[in-house]
């Protein structure tokens, strides 16, 4: 007998026979096929942000990422959580692009923020932060997102994100505003000329992803005083300019998701404590939390 359960945000009953889950950031998309509650396939594609890619390009990226022999008729439903999936027209574009690959499948598209909230808190309330290539924050009541901020991207916002941290690092390098030993180590690490960095920053199809690609250098030098100051300032800015734009954020537990949050969680926790939060939950990526959420009637084990 098929098991049916209620998914509050999508406001439908759905069965968990064969479900394809996707969590899409600016850099990559994690896909997991769950058949009768068991994970049977995992794969990745490029990030599928509709602000950067056309619907045709999204379809193309999904198709070329499918494992060999993958039967697109298997999933009964696709639940896609993605960056850039907030405006109704963008949701429609992504839904259509996915339906072009899985024509016999029900497709549900929602924001990466909702995916992060479900992965972190399940049916509990929480303040949710995403800190990966980009950054965002919202309040979640255990059912839906109740308040958020307008994401302005790395040019005008995204404090605490890989793109903004990478931009600050590269700016200090190009202007020689970092200690000489660190500057020389960074120069050797990235191996690019001044001109190449500028060209790849301004002409890159995904500039945020390119700038975030410099952040792993910082993880190798976390004990350096200059690096630790850069990271602390970045996360302080995240709480100052993003978290405190939300109504009464201290009434919620705080959870963060994303590679930047995960690999620099010591610095993030320090900034969170400074901002008045007692502790935080941190996940590297939401996909396993989403498997639990969708596989256990909307709860996290």
pLDDT tens by residue, 58-94? 999 999 999 998 999 999 999 999 988 888 889 999 9
- Tens digits of residue pLDDT in 30-52: 999 998 778 989 999 999 999 88
* pLDDT for 214: 95
- For the cut 90, the answer to whether the pLDDT of residue 288 exceeds it is no
What does the alpha-carbon distance between residue 256 and residue 235 come to, in Å, rounded to a whole number? 12
What's domain 4-116+286-295's superfamily in CATH?
A: ATPase, nucleotide binding domain (3.30.420.40)
Nearest to 255 by CA among 227, 289, 296: 289
Q: What is the pLDDT of residue 51?
A: 84
Given a cut of 50, is residue 149 above it in pLDDT? yes
Residue whose pair of structure tokens reads 């990478």 in the numeric block: 166
pLDDT higher at 159 or 14? 159
Answer yes or no: pTM beyond 0.85: no
> Could you give the 3-state DSSP secondary structure of residue 207?
helix
In tens, the pLDDT along 187-218 reads 999 989 888 888 888 887 778 889 999 999 99
DSSP alpha helices (H): ranges in the chain? 55-65, 88-101, 112-121, 153-156, 162-174, 180-190, 194-202, 207-212, 215-219, 225-241, 259-263, 265-274, 287-295
Q: What is the pLDDT of residue 161?
A: 93
């Amino acid at each position: 007998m098929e098991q049916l359960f209620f998914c509050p945000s999508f406001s439908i009953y759905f069965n968990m026979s064969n479900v394809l889950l996707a969590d899409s950031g600016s850099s990559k998309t994690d896909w997991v096929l769950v058949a009768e509650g068991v994970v049977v396939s995992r794969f990745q594609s490029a990030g599928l942000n509709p602000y950067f890619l056309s619907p045709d390009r999204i379809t193309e990226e999904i198709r070329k990422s499918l494992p060999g022999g993958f039967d697109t008729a298997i999933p009964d439903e696709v639940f896609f959580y993605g960056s850039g999936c907030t405006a109704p027209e963008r949701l429609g574009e992504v839904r259509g692009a996915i339906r072009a690959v899985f024509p016999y499948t029900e497709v549900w598209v929602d924001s990466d923020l909702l995916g992060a909230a479900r992965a972190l808190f399940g049916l509990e309330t929480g303040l949710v932060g995403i800190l990966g290539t980009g950054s965002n924050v919202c309040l979640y009541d255990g059912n839906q997102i109740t308040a958020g901020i307008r994401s302005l991207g790395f040019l005008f916002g995204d404090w605490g994100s890989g793109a903004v941290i990478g931009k600050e690092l590269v700016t200090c390098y190009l202007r020689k505003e970092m200690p000489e030993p660190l500057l020389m180590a960074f120069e050797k690490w990235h191996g690019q000329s001044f001109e190449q960095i500028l060209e790849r920053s301004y002409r890159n199809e995904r500039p945020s992803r390119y700038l975030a690609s410099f952040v792993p250098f910082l993880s190798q030098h976390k004990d350096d005083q200059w690096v630790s100051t850069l990271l602390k300032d970045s996360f302080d800015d995240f709480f100052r300019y993003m978290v405190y734009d939300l109504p009464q954020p201290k009434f919620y537990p705080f959870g963060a998701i994303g590679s930047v949050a995960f690999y620099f969680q010591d610095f993030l926790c320090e900034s969170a404590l400074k901002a008045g939060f007692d502790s935080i939950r941190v996940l590297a990526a939401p996909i396993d939390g989403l498997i639990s959420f969708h596989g256990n009637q909307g709860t996290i084990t």
